[in-house]
Amino acid sequence: MRFYVIRIKYLLFAAAIAVAIPLICLTSGKTVVTFLTGGREVPIYSVERGDNKIALTFDSAWNDDDIDSIIKTLVSKKCKATFFVTGKWAEQYSSSLNKLYRNGFEIGTHSYNHDDYTKMSSDEIIRDIEKAEAAVMRVTGKRPELMRAPSGAYNDTVVRTVEQSGRKYIQWSVDGIDYNDASAEEIYNRVISKASSGDIILLHNGTAHTAEVLPQIIEKLSESYELVTVSELIYKDNYTIDYAGRQHLNEMY
What's the CATH fold of domain 45-233? TIM Barrel (3.20.20)
C-beta atoms surrounding 242 within 10 Å: 26
Residues 57, 210 contacting (CB under 8 angstroms): no
* Domain locations along the chain: 1-40+234-253, 45-233
Whether residue 161 has pLDDT greater than 50: yes
Chain segment 76-124, per-residue pLDDT in tens: 999 999 999 999 999 999 999 999 999 999 999 999 999 999 999 999 9
What pLDDT, on the 0 to 100 scale, is given for residue 27? 44
With 70 as the cut, is the pLDDT of residue 19 above it?
no
Where b means 16+ CB within 10 Å and e means fewer, 109-138 reads: bbbbebeebeebeeeebbebbbebbebbee
165 pLDDT exceeds 90? yes
Per-chain mean pLDDT for the chain: 88
The residues that bridge with 82 in the sheet, in sequence order, are: 57, 106
- What pLDDT sits at residue 251? 80
pLDDT at 212: 98
pTM here?
A: 0.86
Under DSSP, is residue 105 helix (H, G, I), strand (E, B) or coil? coil
DSSP state of 12: T
pLDDT of residue 252: 63
Say what the pLDDT of residue 31 is.
45
Q: Please list the helix, strand and coil fractions of the chain in percent, rounded to the nearest 5, in that order.
A: 35, 25, 40
Q: Are 129 and 158 in contact (CB under 8 A)?
A: no
What is the per-residue burial (b if ≥16 Cβ within 10 Å, else e) of 158-195?
A: bbbbbbebebbbbbbbbebebbeebebeebbebbbeeb
SS3 206: coil
Active site residues per annotation: 59, 204
